[in-house]
Amino acid sequence: MQFKFHMPVKAYFGEGCISKNGSELAKYGRKAIIVTGGRSAKLSGALSDICAALEQLDIEYTIYDKVQNNPTLDNVREGGAMARQYGACFVVGIGGGSPLDAAKAVAVLAVNDIEPEQLFTNDFANRPLPVVAIPTTAGTGSEVTPYSILTRTDKQTKISFGTPDTFPAIAFLDPHYTESQPLEVTVNTAVDALSHSMEGYLGKRRTEATDILAREGIRLFGSCLGSLRIGNIGPETREALLYASMLGGMVITHTGTTIIHGLGYNYTYFSGIPHGKANGYLIAEYLRFNYEYAKDRIDDILALMGLADLDEMDAVLAELIGRAPAITGEEISRYAAITMTQRSTATNIRPVEAQDIEGILKRLQK
């Protein structure tokens, strides 16, 4: 066995983790910018908790609360300019994947006078500001990855950047912050976390170490499946889902994602479908496509989730998130062409051509 495993994020997990460990913030400087969206940070209680911790330490802060769903380059340009003008010493990201990803971009742009397009070179003259990540959803795992995924309108898709310097310094994972999320968001983000562990378990870059994390993430999702199906999301389930999300983030940090993500971005970009739901539409067909190349691993995934076969997997996911919307033949060709520009096609365990992507999409037109 030969592999590298690098996970520099100091993660505090559990209810009240900010109030119990807020003193950690003092080491990052005297001025912070909080990067978030318009609602979840306030509704969850995370914003008031981090503000209280900053105030107790006499750390000044300002708030940039204009992060969009699926943030664009213009969005992070604005946040970066605000951070630079304010003279922020560190960045606090609060929210789902969009604010956390935006916070990483802001951390780079705050100290590098570059155009946002240059983020994707992963070559920055100045080290990004430290990032403190506080998730309010249990899905992306962005709090423990270096990746920032941004919408590229020029390329009609989403693309990531990330270096070892864009890992968050600290993550505060409090399951209580996810309680304000509607059931649909809870389900969609849980499916996103499942896709991370699943793709990592089946991808070309998997290792023995990531397999341990991926299997546990998949098992945790399976243990929560009954609660998700009936919409009974109690504290224990939320804790398990947030933990599974963190594990999934640790997995894809080392393995990357595969064609589920590259293909799913099309549904999000062109139809506004939430990322986790878009991934979920594709999971069963993705597993069928790869089955002959990874039979034992896919059978293991089904066993960990307590499912009999891929047909049951398909039915359960359809029950949770519905079916993929119908798209035209022209859209199928466009989605396939864009997907083939994504790095994730290279990590898929089975070789992928454009006609394979088209075949997956055609089989979804039920």
pLDDT at 361: 97
Q: Return d(Cα 215, Cα 191) in angstroms, integer.
A: 15
Query: What pLDDT does 121 receive?
Result: 97
With pLDDT > 90 as the criterion, what percentage of the chain qualifies?
98
Share the mean pLDDT of the chain.
Answer: 97
Model pLDDT for residues 242-281, shown as the tens digit of each residue: 999 999 999 999 999 999 999 999 999 999 999 999 999 9
Strands 157-161 and 148-152: antiparallel
Between the alpha carbon of residue 243 and those of residues 252, 270, 278, 299, the distances in Å are: 15, 31, 22, 23
Residue 366 has pLDDT above 90, yes or no: no
For residue 102, pLDDT over 80 is answered with yes
Q: What pLDDT is stored for residue 40 in this prediction?
A: 87
Q: What is the pLDDT of residues 150-178, one digit of tens each?
A: 999 999 999 999 999 999 999 999 999 99
Max CA distance (Å), the chain: 59
Q: Where in the chain is the domain with CATH 1.20.1090.10?
A: 183-363
The predicted structure's pLDDT at residue 312: 98
pLDDT surpasses 90 at 147: yes
Give per-residue pLDDT as tens, 274-326: 999 999 999 999 999 999 999 999 999 999 999 999 999 999 999 999 999 99
Q: What are phi and psi of 351, to 5 degrees?
A: -55, 140
In this structure, the dihedral spanned by the alpha carbons of residues 125, 129, 132 and 138, taken in order and rounded to 10 degrees, is -30
Task: Find the mean pLDDT for residues 211-232.
Answer: 97
The model's pLDDT over 183-208, given as tens digits with 9 standing for 90+, comes to: 999 999 999 999 999 999 999 999 99
Measured distance CA(327)–CA(234) in Å, rounded: 37
Superfamily of domain 183-363 in CATH is: Dehydroquinate synthase-like - alpha domain (1.20.1090.10)
Structure tokens given for 132: 């403190």
Whole-angstrom distance, CA of residue 75 vs CA of residue 101:
11
Residue 282, pLDDT score: 98
Written as six digits, the tokens of 64 are 């940039």
Share of the chain above pLDDT 70, in %: 100
10-178 has which fold? Rossmann fold (3.40.50)
- The CATH 3.40.50.1970 domain(s) of the chain lie at 10-178
Write down the pLDDT at residue 225: 97
- Mean pLDDT over 89-103 rounds to 97
What is the predicted pLDDT for the residue at 149? 97
- Produce one character per residue of 16-33: b if its CB has 16 or more CB atoms within 10 Å, e if not: ebbeeebebbeebeebbb
What tens digit of pLDDT does each residue of 17-68 get? Answer: 999 999 999 999 999 999 999 888 999 999 999 999 999 999 999 999 999 9
pLDDT at 76 over 80: yes
Euclidean distance between the first and the last CA atom of the chain, given in angstroms as a whole number: 43
- pTM confidence score: 0.96
Long-range contacts of 114-123 (CB under 8 A, 24+ apart): 115/77, 116/73, 116/74, 116/76, 116/77, 116/80, 116/150, 117/73, 119/73, 119/76, 119/148, 119/150, 119/161, 120/159, 120/161, 121/161, 122/161, 122/162, 122/163
